[in-house]
């Protein structure tokens, strides 16, 4: 329903523009029969976890997909990062450098590995680690660098790898948003010591929950196998002092991931179209811009996230837009705001810090709905709503003062 007066906005009691909520996450699903056929195989084999055949198949396919020698499936990406860091640390205490503008789980994964997060600032365009900030942060207590590939950009991968190599600091990548993207024509997966991906339902490969680690290091993968399975296995000096956990991917989730994997390219293609639709629809509207790669000549995105930049000149604040759009039935959320370096959710023993670029970035972005539920028409309706808000900004702003 098109809005006629500002009072018809849902936040002021009008009917929502979208009757059914448009979810923020990807939430694609494979054909049910493909999932059930994999699940049936596990059922008939009476083998539902502990490195089953389906998990082995996921690992084989994902290693090929990422062009790496090894892939290790895990319960989820978070535990993947924690076991990697535990193996790097080998009981040493110290710091892990990570971007201050990223996913709120990262400091927790680092603490579970017994290490301390050291937040550093990010590049204003790629939102990935700022190389000079990393250089300044490295000290004798640095155990590892946890870099993050953003959904719109890989950042300076080569620079980071060269820096880490030169200083012999283990570098791992949270590449959850790099799946389906390409850097210099190749998929992510083989950079640094290892990269970590997700099979969560809101990501490109829906495995309900799940994750995997890619690496070209054969010894590392053997050690990680122990970490994910309680350290169990034949004794060997290679595996001493591993404090394992349960990091296994189960066969039910593996069946779902296997059913989803063949559709990866289709999902990315549909995402590209959706992103183009967002770009076209917002093109005539000033001061609202979709977040795009700063280096399109060398990288592509899977557009698993659609992120809107609300420029300072836009008459409504990012938080006002968040509330207004949410009320209309759009799954939207502030993008990494407040920045990771000082969010309330951090563990109490993690010290907050102020990072100027991260702080500024955290004020301007809003994550928009992704996935098939956001049709071309929906995107046009969303853009129409934005135009309406621009036209009625003064009245809307005034009215909002009464309720927010």
Partner 1 sequence: MNNLNRLAWFGASPRIARELHAGQINLPSWEKIEKAMEKIFEREYFTNNGPLVQQFEQEFAAYLNVRHAVCVANGTFALMIMYKALDLKDEVIVPAYTFPATVQALSWAGLKPVLCDVDPKTQIPSILHIETCLTPQTSAIVLTHTWGRSAHSPKIETFAKKHGLKLAYDACHGIGCIHNGQKIGNFGMAEAFSFHATKIINAAEGGCVVTNDDGLAVKLRASRSFHACAQDPEGILRLNGKMSEAQAALALLSLEDLPLNLEANRIRYEAYRQALVGIPGVTLDDYNSALNNHQYVNVFIDEAKAGLSRDKVFDLLAAENIFCRRHFMPGMHNTPPYNNSLQNHKSMFKSTDWLCRRILQLPNSQNVSVEDVAIICDLIREIISLGPQIRLAKEE
- Contacts with partner 1 by CB under 8 A lie at 27, 29, 32, 35-36, 39-40, 43, 46, 48-50, 75-79, 82, 91, 103-105, 108-109, 111-112, 114, 200-201, 206, 208-209, 230-232, 235, 239-246, 248, 250-253, 256, 344-349
36/162 with CB nearer partner 1: 36
Query: What's the min distance (Å) between Cβ of 361 and partner 1?
Result: 20
Please give the Cα distance from 85 to 172 (Å, whole number).
9
Structure tokens at 171: 């570098």
Burial class (CB in 10 A: 0-12, 13-18, 19+), 219: exposed
240/401 with CB nearer partner 1: 240
- Contact call for residues 307 and 291 (beta carbons, < 8 A): yes
Report whether the peptide linkage leading into residue 328 is cis, meaning its omega lies within 30 degrees of zero.
no
234/312 with CB nearer partner 1: 234
Instruction: Quote the DSSP letter at residue 15.
Output: -
79/400 with CB nearer partner 1: 79
80/187 with CB nearer partner 1: 80
Query: What's the min distance (Å) between Cβ of 251 and partner 1?
Result: 6
Query: What's the min distance (Å) between Cβ of 303 and partner 1?
Result: 20
Query: What's the min distance (Å) between Cβ of 130 and partner 1?
Result: 24
Query: What's the min distance (Å) between Cβ of 154 and partner 1?
Result: 23
Please give the Cα distance from 227 to 151 (Å, whole number).
29
Please give the Cα distance from 262 to 82 (Å, whole number).
29
- Contact call for residues 181 and 301 (beta carbons, < 8 A): yes
126/206 with CB nearer partner 1: 206
Query: What's the min distance (Å) between Cβ of 336 and partner 1?
Result: 12
Please give the Cα distance from 130 to 240 (Å, whole number).
36
């Amino acid at each position: 329903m098109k809005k006629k007066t500002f009072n018809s906005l849902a936040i002021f009691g009008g009917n929502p523009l979208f009757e059914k909520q448009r979810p923020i996450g990807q939430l694609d699903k494979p054909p049910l029969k493909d999932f059930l056929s994999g699940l049936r195989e596990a059922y008939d084999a009476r083998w539902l976890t502990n490195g089953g055949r389906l998990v082995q198949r996921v690992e084989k396919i994902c290693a090929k997909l990422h062009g790496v020698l090894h892939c290790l499936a895990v319960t989820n990406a978070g535990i993947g990062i924690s076991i990697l860091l535990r193996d790097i640390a080998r009981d040493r205490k110290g710091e892990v450098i990570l971007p201050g503008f990223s996913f709120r789980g990262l400091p927790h994964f680092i603490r579970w590995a017994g290490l301390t997060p050291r937040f550093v600032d990010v590049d204003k365009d790629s939102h990935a680690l700022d190389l000079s900030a990393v250089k300044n942060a490295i000290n004798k207590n640095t155990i590892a660098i946890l870099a993050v590939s953003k959904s719109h950009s890989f950042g300076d991968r080569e620079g980071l790898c060269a820096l880490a190599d030169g200083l012999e600091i283990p570098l791992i990548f949270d590449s959850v948003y790099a799946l389906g993207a390409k850097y210099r024509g190749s998929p992510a997966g083989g950079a640094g010591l290892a990269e970590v991906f997700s099979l969560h339902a809101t990501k490109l490969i829906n495995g309900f929950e799940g994750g995997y680690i890619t690496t070209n290091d054969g010894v590392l993968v053997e050690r990680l196998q122990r970490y994910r399975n309680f350290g169990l296995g034949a004794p060997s000096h290679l595996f001493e002092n591993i404090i394992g956990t349960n990091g296994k991917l189960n066969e039910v989730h593996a069946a779902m991931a296997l059913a989803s994997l063949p559709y990866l390219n289709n999902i990315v293609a549909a995402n590209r179209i959706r992103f183009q639709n967002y770009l076209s629809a917002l093109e005539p509207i000033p001061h609202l811009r979709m977040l795009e790669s700063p280096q399109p000549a060398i990288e592509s995105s899977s557009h698993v996230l659609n992120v809107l930049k609300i420029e300072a000149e836009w008459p409504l604040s990012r938080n006002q837009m968040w509330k207004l759009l949410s009320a209309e039935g759009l799954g939207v959320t502030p993008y990494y705001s407040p920045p990771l370096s000082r969010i309330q959710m951090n563990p109490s023993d993690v010290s907050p810090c102020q990072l100027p670029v991260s702080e500024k970035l955290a004020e301007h972005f809003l994550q928009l709905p992704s996935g098939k539920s956001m049709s071309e028409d929906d995107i046009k309706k969303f853009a129409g709503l934005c135009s309406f808000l621009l036209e009625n900004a003064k009245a809307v702003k005034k009215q909002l003062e009464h309720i927010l």
